[in-house]
A and B are shown apart, each in its own frame.
Chain A
Amino acid sequence: MKKLYQAVLFVLLCCLTPLVASAQSFRVQCPTSTVTHPSSLHDNNSEPAYNGPTNLAVPTIPPAGTNGGFLMPTGNVNGAIKCQQIGGGDGLSTMGDGTQIYMFSFGPLSGLADIANGQPGTEFPSVFNTVYPGTFLPGDPATTVGGSSGGNAVPIGFTYNGAVGLVPDADCMAGNAAAAASGGTPPCPNLPADGLDGHVDPRAIIDVGVMNGNIPAPLFAIDEDDEFFLALSNVGMIMRPDLFEQHTVHFHGYPNASTFYDGVPDASVAINIGGSFTYYYLAPDAGTYFWHCHITPPEHLQMGMVGQLYVRPRQNRVPVGQSLYTYLGYQQNDNRTKCDSTQDILCSNPLPAGGAAANTAARAATGNYAYNDGDGSTYYDVEYPIQIHGFDPNFHFVGMTFNPEEFNDMKDKYFLLNGRSYPDTVTPGPLATQATDGKMHFSQPLPSIINIPAGGKALLRISDLDVTEYQTLASLGIPMTVIGFNAKLLRDQAGNNLYYTTNSITLAGGESLDVILDATDKTKYPSGSIFYLYTPNLDHLSNDAENFGGLMTEVHIN
């Protein structure tokens, strides 16, 4: 066996050698202008209002560097550019009974401040492409701000959200300067004036990325029409040096996905330790998706490589006061954004039934929408991503040691909402765990406490990546209105909303749905009241041996 493996590896390496291209192993990508979002037409550092489809035409003269022949925007550009960097490696987290548990995991390598404050780490180029003014310390940002085990203050007192490791490309700058002085050809003709072309200092990536695992993995949030550049830097699993594991990102549920960026190692490529791979997608239709590593899924998902991802609808960008129905009508003018149920069996948001006369909702001055509904029915004041997961401590222990793992007897003993069990779910701020490097790391940045303004509505974006069993989450108090399922609006082809009200939802791993908690009745749900979300799988209301805790959190009316 061993000989066969080595022989195959040898053949593999030999065949790859002729294809060597010049490239740095760790690097990030966040262009400020693309053929889809030309900076000449549009500021890519903000979301423009939606006033109808992007105007497209094939330029008569091919843009520089291309062979032309494709559609480019000529005006009314929608969406922007968003970038994020994550590290794939390992780490430790703290369970509700105080046990520290070993994980294979992703950690943030951009948007550090946002992630630690419970926000998405997805940034515009103007934020992503900034150089850290100091020197990163192992464990940052927790080390720099003095994070302590248990809860930490919010905001955390750390503001940097750029790409960890990003530095000017000194070699390119010097080469270009020398070429300019001698009149020669510059080696890096496209280098920006600030020298930031995605070149990174690997020391910073290793210092921050090693043992930096988060559960759940860093949150991604993008808007429809955005281009999203996600750099995955594989920093290695320092406690399992015997494992030369690759990691990938599977964008779970993306419609019309490409194989290449689907993250399945069997069907594509996977990044080795010491390298970065940038995933590229145009944002798909709005909805609650999620993501995870797809290497040996029963192992890497159980071990913690699971995260959340949602796409916000165009409808949020409709100018305040304008008719949502009219603007959903504008989306029918672009084949990419339309939903004609008579032509496409896989679209879920046709114009709502009843026409303009029955659908008079206008874009609200505050709040947002979960989907392009055209009738305002998915409105919410506040949104919370909630990810259901489970950890089997025996499997994690074996995963920390050097023994082969057994899959059949996998049995979760910790039941997690956003990587925490009750009562940690209601602890504000990031939870920190001291890892084996002796440093504190923000291991679990996301509380699950649902704060609803009195008289308001909360959108819960619930996903489940448990790898062993179905789990149920019930609401004691405010009924759950299910408006979306698997990142699709619940609407039939005739335009009738198929929302339903329930007090519990059940999901398997690999599923998501959207729930609105409607607290507009201040008599029933007065300010100061507290309600609970908990699992009626009563054996899941435990933290391993503790008969208390588990899959439960609180809803506060403020």
Chain B
Amino acid sequence: MNATNTKMMISKTRLLVLLALALLLTASAQAAAPGVTGPVFNLTAQAGSLSQPDGAAVYSWGYGCNGAPAGYAPAAITNAFCNTMQVPGPTLIVTEGQTVTVNLTNNLPTAAGNTSILFPGFNVTASGGVAGLLTQEAVPGGTVTYTFTPSSPGTRAYYSGTQGDLQVEMGLYGAIIVLPTNTTVLSGCTAAQANNLAAQAHWGESNFRLAVAAYDHASTCYDREYLFQFSEMDPNIHNKALAQVTAAGNCAAGAPGCSLNVPTEPYSPAYFMINGRSMPDDMDTNYASQYPHQPYNGNPHMHPGELTLIRVIGQGRWQHPFHEHGNHVRILARDGNLILSQNDSTKLGGRLEFTTDTTPGQAFDGIFYWTGKGLNWDPYGHNPASSDLAAKLPCTPDGNGYNTSAPTAINYYEWCQDHNKPLQVAPFGDVAGGGPATLPDPNILTNGAWFGGSPYLGPNATVRAVGPTGTTPPSGTIANPPTSEAGFAFMWHSHNEREITTNNIFPGGMLMMMLVDSREFVIDESN
């Protein structure tokens, strides 16, 4: 290839390098919605550097823990930490009706001036510090205290209320999750989830949820949950802030020149992040040691039929259309306000969306699931003529058509109307033929890193169809191996597609893979 013929080489080699990195680190990373518990939170605002996949270390400000927090949740994640600076800030996990106290100490560089936290949606009492435009602020080295009692559950944002155009851009934001307390709802959800809990127990899966319901409402039960905070960074702003902070040195607060004058317009962000990380870093584990200031990831996994709660917040200054491949999302609530039918409060009223807008400062909660209903072919590749017993499992439809009476089976929650129904015209390994579709010669196809190796779901079906290496390159070089996972991988990403880049490099930015795994694969959110 000649020197000018570079575009494809650049994107392919970058892809390979990124992929190699991703594969070293992500093969089994999952996500959950980890955070710290209170009800007293001692936070600090400090400077630090954010790692980006192009190698940049971007000077930023973030909230962190001022000393060890009262605790971490969920308990099943045991390697949690809370640094003194992180982006997003610590996820504050509290309970409805419980009085929350946040003590914020301003450890930003003195030239950065005062700082504060806003908790939109709560009735906050601020004490200490000095009066600012929107709330009480902590002066450099000083502390301010915010107290409030959440009266309703849900996900909300918190962020700096001081010079927000600069401080939020620099990273001073986070999430607060309020857990519901209605015992009737909670016990009802637990009863409804009995079979899924039995399935998880059978395969040795831990429970990584913060609660069994998102709200005090029976329609908000969930089996799994993830938190995604969307934000973007313009490195020019960060570089100018660093230069001015450095120039100011150890100046005295209020002394002439001991302040920043960083223009925040024109705005030209180059990093588009989910939970403070850009793809592929966002698919590394929670609390991965290489990101001391970016502890939270984005790499959701779920089994067919599991109700998955997504908590999503727009933390930057732009809107981002977040497209969830695979199914729609039912919007449950915005900023902690459950959306119900106007004349029947037992029913939900939120929209169904396949692209969910994130809006600056706004949070929404939504429910997603995937079952394969209506595919018109059996994704498990069942074959009644196979010698493999797992290929001949029964599918007994419940009142909704799903195989829910056998929680220990691989095909728990299979959509029974398509059971045994073939996809391919010709038999495909040990998967029956007679179906509608014919695949081309594999030599004229290019396989992706998250391709499980066959059209089918799970190791049993995949290995029966195409053998242990799949139709992919050797299993050691793929992120979704035929013999262990072979999940259905769906891309969840910003559909302002230029935002799935990192500083002009594709792929990157606001992009992650969501995997639907057969029950054979044990989803472990702790690694």
A340 within 8 Å of B (CB atoms): yes
Flag B94-127 by CB within 8 Å of A: 1 or 0 each: 0000000000000000000000000000000000
A521 within 8 Å of B (CB atoms): no
Binds A, one of B128-136, B148-156, B167-175, B466-474: B466-474
B364 within 8 Å of A (CB atoms): no
Residues of A within 8 A of B10 (CB): 404
Residues of A within 8 A of B474 (CB): 11, 15
Residue of B nearest to A470 (CB): B319
Is B444's CB under 8 angstroms from A343's CB?
no
Is A4's CB under 8 angstroms from B421's CB?
no
Give complex CA distance A27, B4 in Å: 35
Flag A8-43 by CB within 8 Å of B: 1 or 0 each: 100110011101111101010101001110000000
Binds A, one of B54-62, B252-260, B501-509: B501-509
A69 within 8 Å of B (CB atoms): yes
Is A242's CB under 8 angstroms from B417's CB?
no
Flag B440-451 by CB within 8 Å of A: 1 or 0 each: 111111111111
Flag B335-360 by CB within 8 Å of A: 1 or 0 each: 00000011110011101111101000
Flag A323-353 by CB within 8 Å of B: 1 or 0 each: 0000000000001100011011110100001
Is B497's CB under 8 angstroms from A282's CB?
no
Residues of B within 8 A of A486 (CB): 328, 351-355
Give complex CA distance A261, B440 in Å: 13
Given known contacts A269-B446, A341-B347, A508 and B321 CB-to-CB distance under 8 angstroms: yes
A298 touches which one: B399, B477, B498 (CB < 8 A)? B498
Flag B308-329 by CB within 8 Å of A: 1 or 0 each: 0000000000011101011110
Given known contacts A266-B450, A348-B352, A282 and B374 CB-to-CB distance under 8 angstroms: yes
Residue of B nearest to A510 (CB): B495
Is A298's CB under 8 angstroms from B501's CB?
yes
Give complex CA distance A343, B219 in Å: 10
Chain A 227-277 interface residues, beta-carbon cutoff 8 Å to B:
227, 229, 242-246, 250, 252-253, 255-262, 264-272, 274-277
Residues of B within 8 A of A252 (CB): 323, 354
Is B374's CB under 8 angstroms from A345's CB?
no
Given known contacts A11-B474, A70-B419, A346-B369, A243 and B7 CB-to-CB distance under 8 angstroms: yes
Is A256's CB under 8 angstroms from B420's CB?
no
Residues of A within 8 A of B506 (CB): 296, 298-299, 407
Residues of B within 8 A of A11 (CB): 473-474
Is B385's CB under 8 angstroms from A493's CB?
no
**Taking the nearest CB of chain B, how far is it from the CB of A482, in angstroms?**
11
**Taking the nearest CB of chain B, how far is it from the CB of A394, in angstroms?**
13
Residues of B within 8 A of A346 (CB): 327-328, 330, 352, 367-369
B6 within 8 Å of A (CB atoms): yes
Is A264's CB under 8 angstroms from B378's CB?
no
Give complex CA distance A352, B382 in Å: 38
Is A492's CB under 8 angstroms from B348's CB?
yes
A68 touches which one: B5, B384, B454, B516 (CB < 8 A)? B384
Given known contacts A63-B434, A267-B490, A408 and B376 CB-to-CB distance under 8 angstroms: no
Is B328's CB under 8 angstroms from A258's CB?
no
**Taking the nearest CB of chain B, how far is it from the CB of A352, in angstroms?**
13
Q: How extensive is the interface on chain B, given as a class?
A: 35 or more
Binds A, one of B11-19, B43-51, B79-87: B11-19
**Taking the nearest CB of chain B, how far is it from the CB of A97, in angstroms?**
24
A461 within 8 Å of B (CB atoms): no
A56 within 8 Å of B (CB atoms): yes
The secondary structure that dominates the A interface is loop
A297 within 8 Å of B (CB atoms): yes
Is B434's CB under 8 angstroms from A255's CB?
no
Give complex CA distance A501, B208 in Å: 43
Give complex CA distance A509, B501 in Å: 16
**Taking the nearest CB of chain B, how far is it from the CB of A377, in angstroms?**
17
Is B400's CB under 8 angstroms from A256's CB?
no
**Taking the nearest CB of chain A, how far is it from the CB of B87, in angstroms?**
21
Residues of B within 8 A of A340 (CB): 400
**Taking the nearest CB of chain A, how far is it from the CB of B239, in angstroms?**
15
Given known contacts A341-B347, A510-B495, A258 and B436 CB-to-CB distance under 8 angstroms: no
Is A65's CB under 8 angstroms from B433's CB?
yes
Residue of A nearest to B491 (CB): A264
Residues of B within 8 A of A66 (CB): 422, 432-435
B451 touches which one: A12, A242, A267, A298 (CB < 8 A)? A267
Residues of B within 8 A of A229 (CB): 436-437
A496 touches which one: B6, B12, B342, B420 (CB < 8 A)? B342
Residue of A5, A65, A269, A486 with most partner-chain B CB within 10 A: A269
Given known contacts A65-B434, A508-B355, A70 and B341 CB-to-CB distance under 8 angstroms: no
Residues of A within 8 A of B441 (CB): 20-23, 25, 275
Flag B419-432 by CB within 8 Å of A: 1 or 0 each: 11111010000001
A173 within 8 Å of B (CB atoms): no
Give complex CA distance A348, B329 in Å: 11
Residues of A within 8 A of B207 (CB): none
**Taking the nearest CB of chain A, how far is it from the CB of B422, in angstroms?**
6
**Taking the nearest CB of chain B, how far is it from the CB of A338, in angstroms?**
8
Chain A 117-153 interface residues, beta-carbon cutoff 8 Å to B:
none
Residue of B nearest to A282 (CB): B376
Given known contacts A15-B473, A66-B422, A67-B434, A244 and B8 CB-to-CB distance under 8 angstroms: yes
Residues of B within 8 A of A335 (CB): 397, 400-401, 417
Flag B132-168 by CB within 8 Å of A: 1 or 0 each: 0000000000000000000000000000000000000
Give complex CA distance A513, B12 in Å: 36
**Taking the nearest CB of chain B, how far is it from the CB of A141, in angstroms?**
27
Residue of B nearest to A337 (CB): B374
Flag B443-485 by CB within 8 Å of A: 1 or 0 each: 1111111111011000000000000010111100100100000
Residue of B nearest to A403 (CB): B7
B383 within 8 Å of A (CB atoms): yes
Give complex CA distance A278, B435 in Å: 14
Is A70's CB under 8 angstroms from B422's CB?
yes
Residues of A within 8 A of B351 (CB): 485-486, 488, 490, 498
Residues of A within 8 A of B438 (CB): 23, 29, 198, 278
Is B455's CB under 8 angstroms from A2's CB?
no
Residues of A within 8 A of B344 (CB): 492-494
A267 touches which one: B5, B270, B507, B513 (CB < 8 A)? B513
B420 touches which one: A68, A269, A277, A510 (CB < 8 A)? A68
Is A277's CB under 8 angstroms from B349's CB?
no
Residues of B within 8 A of A277 (CB): 440, 445
**Taking the nearest CB of chain B, how far is it from the CB of A400, in angstroms?**
11
Residues of B within 8 A of A243 (CB): 7-8
Chain A 63-87 interface residues, beta-carbon cutoff 8 Å to B:
63-71
**Taking the nearest CB of chain B, how far is it from the CB of A77, in angstroms?**
13
Chain B 285-304 interface residues, beta-carbon cutoff 8 Å to A:
none
Give complex CA distance A157, B448 in Å: 43
B437 touches which one: A272, A280, A336 (CB < 8 A)? A280
Is A485's CB under 8 angstroms from B353's CB?
yes
B500 within 8 Å of A (CB atoms): yes
B63 within 8 Å of A (CB atoms): no
Residues of B within 8 A of A270 (CB): 445-446, 448
Chain A 481-519 interface residues, beta-carbon cutoff 8 Å to B:
485-488, 490, 492-494, 496, 498, 508-511
Give complex CA distance A36, B349 in Å: 35
A345 touches which one: B343, B367, B383 (CB < 8 A)? B367
A468 within 8 Å of B (CB atoms): yes
A452 within 8 Å of B (CB atoms): no
Is A282's CB under 8 angstroms from B375's CB?
yes
Which 4 residue pairs across A and B have the least CB separation, nearest first? A510-B495, A66-B434, A335-B401, A275-B444
Given contacts A16-B471, A297-B497, A407-B501, 10 further A-B contacts (CB under 8 A): A70-B421, A227-B436, A259-B489, A262-B490, A340-B400, A403-B6, A488-B328, A492-B347, A498-B351, A508-B319
Can you list 13 residue pairs at the A/B interface with Cβ under 8 Å? A15-B472, A27-B440, A198-B438, A258-B375, A267-B488, A267-B513, A270-B445, A278-B438, A294-B491, A404-B7, A408-B504, A490-B351, A494-B349
